[in-house]
């Protein structure tokens, strides 16, 4: 069973995927058993360049939860890095539905938002990335109005949730060694807590 799950969240092209893979290399150098669930490598059940359909977003959301759940049960790793959290899926869905005027979907959106907020608490840490200059890589929507709205949304999402924010680390700069050190310390504390449980039962 995975001991800690670390999320990487932020707007598209903010450096999440590159950072995750560099952190994996660094952690493995230090002898940590780590794997990554990547936003790019994750098997898509929809066209990633056409994310305007709410049904496709719902499928994306469920697919994400399922794959995180399956990876979290692996007995051979201590750390699971999640490139693009369930929050990122939710933000895409919320903005897309608003842009397209999908008012009839408000009930579904509210239910998914509540589930998202609860699921976010399953991450031991979330590293939050800032927006950077957009570079068209052919994999993401090239809609600047949508991207700008997305960036503004990220700045304020869940800012009043004090319980969640205790586990969020904003990244002003991307420092692979710092991120790796924080993860290793979190793993050390978690292992110590796991060891204490049997002792408390005696």
In the chain, domain spans = 4-201
Average pLDDT for 83-90: 86
Three-state SS string over 68-119 comes to: HHHHHCCCCCCEEEEECCHHHHHHHHHHHHHHCCCHHHHHHHHHHHHHHHHH
Using the predicted structure, report yes or no on whether residue 13 has a pLDDT greater than 60.
Answer: yes
Question: Tokens 């807590």 correspond to what residue?
Answer: 193
> In this predicted model, which residue has the larger pLDDT, 158 or 73?
73
40-73: per-residue pLDDT in tens?
A: 444 444 444 444 556 666 777 788 888 888 888 8
What does the pLDDT read at residue 199?
A: 47
User: First CA to last CA across the chain, in angstroms?
Assistant: 23
Q: How far apart are CA 61 and CA 87, in angstroms?
A: 9
pLDDT at 140 over 60: no
HSE, CB side, 13 Å, CA atoms: give it for residue 166.
5
> What percentage of the chain exceeds 90 in pLDDT?
27
pLDDT beyond 90 at 124: yes
CA distances to 40, 84, 173 from 48, in Å: 10, 14, 28
Distance CA 70, CA 16 (A): 22
Task: Determine contact, residues 11/150, Cβ cutoff 8 Å.
Answer: yes
For domain 4-201, the CATH architecture is 3-Layer(aba) Sandwich (3.40)
Model confidence band, residue 30 (pLDDT cutoffs 50, 70, 90): very high
Q: Hey, what are 132's tokens?
A: 């950077």
106: nearest Cα among 97, 119, 115? 97
pLDDT 10s digits, 71-86: 888 889 999 999 989 8
Which phi-psi region, left, alpha or beta, contains residue 69 (left: φ > 0; alpha: ψ -120 to 50)? alpha
Q: What percentage of the chain has pLDDT greater than the value 70?
A: 67
Q: What is the mean pLDDT of residues 35-42?
A: 69
DSSP state letter for 35: E
Among candidates 70, 63, 109, 104, which has minimal Cα distance to 90?
109
Greater confidence, 113 or 44? Answer: 113
Res. 97 pLDDT band, cuts 50 70 90: low
Threshold 0.85, pTM exceeds: no
Of 36-40, 145-149, 157-161, minimum mean pLDDT range: 157-161
Mean pLDDT of 91-97: 71
Tell me the three state secondary structure of residue 121. Answer: coil
């Amino acid at each position: 069973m995975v001991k800690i799950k670390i999320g990487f969240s932020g707007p598209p092209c903010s450096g999440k995927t590159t950072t995750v893979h560099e952190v994996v290399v660094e952690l493995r150098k230090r002898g940590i058993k780590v794997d990554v669930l990547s936003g790019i490598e994750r098997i898509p059940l929809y066209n990633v360049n056409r994310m305007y359909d709410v049904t496709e977003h719902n499928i994306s959301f469920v697919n994400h939860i399922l794959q995180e759940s399956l990876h979290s049960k692996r007995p051979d790793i201590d750390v699971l890095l999640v490139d693009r959290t369930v929050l990122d899926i939710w933000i895409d869905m919320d903005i897309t539905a608003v842009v397209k005027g999908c008012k009839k979907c408000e009930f579904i959106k509210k239910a998914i938002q509540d589930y998202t907020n609860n699921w976010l608490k399953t991450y031991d840490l979330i590293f939050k990335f800032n927006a950077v200059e957009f570079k068209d890589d052919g994999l993401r929507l090239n809609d600047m109005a949508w991207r700008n709205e997305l960036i503004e949304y990220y700045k304020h999402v869940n800012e009043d949730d004090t319980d969640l924010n205790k586990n969020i680390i904003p990244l002003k700069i991307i420092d692979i060694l710092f991120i790796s050190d924080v993860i290793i310390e979190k793993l050390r504390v978690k292992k110590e807590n796991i060891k204490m449980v049997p002792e408390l039962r005696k």
